[in-house]
Each structure stands twice: as structure tokens, then as C-alpha cells.
Amino acid sequence: MTAQGNNLDPWYHHYADRTANLSASEVRALFAVASRPEVVSLAGGMPFVSALPQDRVGDTLDRVMRERGSVALQYGSGQGDPRLREQILEVMALEGIRGSADDVVVTTGSQHALELITKLFINPGDVVIAEGPSYVTAMVVFRSFQAQIEHADMDEFGLIPEALRRKIASLKADGKRIKFLYTIPTFSNPAGVTLTWERRLEILEICRSNDILVLEDNPYGLLYFDAPPPHALRSVDEDGVVYLGTFSKTLAPGFRVGWALAPHAIREKLILANEAAVLSPSSFSQLVISDYLATTDWKGQIDTFRGVYRERRDAMLQALDDYLPDLSWTVPNGGFYVWLTLPDRLDSKAMLPRAVTELVAYTPGTAFYADGSGKNKIRLSFCYPTPDFIREGIRRLTKVVNGELELLDTFAGTGQLDVVRQDLKYISPPPNIN
């Protein structure tokens, strides 16, 4: 019996085995800190919804209520609204995807598609291969169904085909059952890098020849800053890829509307899983998004978002250049994140209390690995704070990094480092770090 709990919990011995794997992510603890107004948060991944024309959204709400109120307020289909599914095809066409609305399943954010696909495929002990680093809450989902997560390395051009090949071979040699490859090929979370076109083809071929399903998660693909990224993996392989999309970054996350485009047989099971889980996704949210897409220049709005995030990315890169020229970081061409590499001897998680003291928040690199890697990495988000705050945040981060380096220079080898760090912890964390 491995279920978590404690003696104060009368149901301690009743939980399912999988429940032992559910734990608060490191990002979760940060949200409490990041929400304090005096903290510059370079953690979290909240889109800048204030860039939306709120009066236009208001018009849409009004129209949906007047014209389709009785549908919007009612239960809908487990697959999602038919018109919205057609419109989703138009959105995906921008990334080279051709599909049928029959194969689209609307979900409660693309996060729920991740959960449902994992529920459909993962037996305890099955392997999911994920990029290292990978999206935190995807790994939380995989673990919650008792998957074994294995990483394949990435570099500035995305997942490395040879690393994937080696990982698959070694897992197969160990008799492991690999269920899928989870990847964010475009503007990855957290690394900010994009898989090249050549590698896309190569990775699809590797997965095809090894009978491994690809789970392509693409929340950021339309938010490019320079040239458009390569087309989606799904654009070249419709039988081997489950594609996940969302309106959370191109419109707003508050509606919780995402989708999966899945091979036909999987799609059928996904609908059943969706119905079991929520009966139907919110009709109201779906009709609002459908009306918004039909009546608004939504592509123009995505251009607006691109401009906002490009400016913030530029501010972050400039600040890094100015303040931390000795470090290295990725240069994202879209999305929300920069991946920063600290000197080897620094531990970004151990350094977090100091960062909080300096009123800056970030996500430690270890959050994005299942195997404890990433100690000297940091994910920096540029999506939410204004350029000035981003610069100020990097300035504060610089103090944190330098302070930590000094601490190490002073105490390393003396055996006193943990004592000092303990003191620092005692002084600095605010009461709302949970």
C-alpha cells in the first residue's frame, strides 16, 4: 500500500495506489508568491488577457445570450459544438493541419485532453517519453496514472532524434512498454525552443517505426515573433499523432476550451472518456468562442498578442544581455518562455528563498524534469509582466544570482552552507508559500 496521507486522515488506507503520485507541483507553490503585488513574477504562464478587446468579448457574450441562450445554458454533446469544431479546423489550418471536424473533440482546456488521453492509454508502469525539460503539469498527469516518465534530451533545435532513438532502444532492451512520446515541438514550455522541420520528419519516422504514438501539444504555435514556425507534426501524419490545441493563449484561459484532433478510433474513445468525466464541455464557453471567431478579426487579435509578447521577449533578452552577460539562455521565436542556465554550482531551487526576499519569482528547473535534473536551470516567463517589470525582474534576479555565488564562494567546503541556507530560509519565505 503506497497511498499518501497521514494519521489524521481517517481515509488514509483507502486511496488508490495512483494517488500516492499526486503531489503539489513546484510551480503551484510559486503561484502564492507570485500573486503578491510587490513581487515581479517571471514564474507562471498567465497570458496577458488585458490585450483583448474586452468590449468585443462583451458584445459576444451579449449576442450568444440573446441569440442562442437556451443552447448556451444547456448540456451539449460530449464531443463539442459542431460549428466550433469546424472553426477549430480553420485555426489548425494555419499550422498546416488538414483534418475532419469529426475527429475534433472539445475539452476543458487542452489540459483535460492530456488527462483523458493519459487515462485511455496508461497502465501502471507504462512509459511516456517526454522531452527533457518538459511541461510540469503534463508530467503531473502522467504520474497520476502511474506512468514512468523518461526524458530524451533536447538542444536549441528541439528534441534530438538520436537521443530519442537511444532512449527507445534502451527502454525496449529493458522490456518497457512505451505508450507515447509527449512533445511541445513549437516554442516549448519551458525551453522556448522549436523543433526544426527536418527533425520533425525524423522524429515522426522514429515513432512510426517503433509503434509509438505522438502526443503533440501546441499551445503556443500561433504566437510566433519572427518567421512562422514549421508546420505541426500532425500536418504530416494523421494516424500517428494526437494533436492538442487550446484557445487559452490566443483568446483567454478563463473559458477553459481546448481540443484534441485524434485518429478516428482514438477520437471515439476520447469522446466516451470526455462524457464520463464532464458529460459535456461547457456549452456556454464553446458558443462564446465560436461567436468570437465568427464575428471578430481573431487573426488580427493574434497579431496583437504576437506584438505584445515579442516586445516582452525583447525586453527580457536585452535585460539578460545587460545584467547577466556571462550566463547562457535560449532565444525563443515565440511562446512565453526563456530557459536560463546558471553556473553549474548554483541550485535554482535552493536559491528561491533569496529570490523571494529580493521580490522576484521564477520557476526552478527541477520542476521540468522527472529525474531531478535541471538544478542549475531556470524558466523565465515573459508573458505577463510589462517590459519595465521584466527588466526590473532580471535586475533583481541578478542580485540573487550574485548573492548566491558570493555565499558559495564564502562557505563552500566549510560544511556551513546548509546552516547558512537554513537561516536564510527562516528569514525570507513569506507566510503564503505553501
- Contacting range for a copy of itself; rule: CB under 8 A; set: 151-159, 160-168, 254-262, 295-303: 254-262
Beta bridge partners of 377: 341
The identity of residue 336, as a single letter, is: F
Q: What is the dihedral of CA 88, 93, 99, 104, to 10 degrees?
A: -20
- Contacting range for a copy of itself; rule: CB under 8 A; set: 149-157, 187-195, 273-281, 353-361: 273-281
- Contacting range for a copy of itself; rule: CB under 8 A; set: 62-70, 127-135, 168-176, 188-196: 62-70
Q: What angle do CA 347, 111, 307 make, to 5 degrees?
A: 75
Residue of 156, 73, 102, 110 lying closest to 250 (CA atoms)? 110
The distance from CA 362 to its chain's CA centroid, rounded to whole angstroms, is: 15
175 binds a copy of itself (CB under 8 A): no
Closer to a copy of itself at the Cβ: 211 or 344?
A: 211
Binding to a copy of itself, residues 326-365 (CB under 8 A): none
Helix (H) or strand (E) holding 153: strand 148-155
A 10 A CB-CB count for 188 gives 27
Binding to a copy of itself, residues 86-115 (CB under 8 A): 108-109, 111-112, 115
Residue of 149, 127, 288 lying closest to 213 (CA atoms)? 127
Q: Which member of 93, 169, 276, 427 binds a copy of itself (CB under 8 A)?
A: 276
The identity of residue 110, as a single letter, is: S
69 binds a copy of itself (CB under 8 A): yes
Q: Which member of 269, 299, 395, 399 binds a copy of itself (CB under 8 A)?
A: 269
- Contacting range for a copy of itself; rule: CB under 8 A; set: 86-94, 157-165, 226-234, 260-268: 260-268
Question: Which string of x and - marks every residue 130-149 that binds a copy of itself (by CB under 8 A)?
Answer: -------x--xx--xx----
Question: Which string of x and - marks every residue 10-29 that binds a copy of itself (by CB under 8 A)?
Answer: xxx-xxxxxx--xxxx--x-
Closer to a copy of itself at the Cβ: 189 or 333?
A: 189
66 binds a copy of itself (CB under 8 A): yes
A 10 A CB-CB count for 359 gives 17
Roughly what angle, to the nearest 10 degrees, separates helices 298-323 and 387-411? Answer: 30
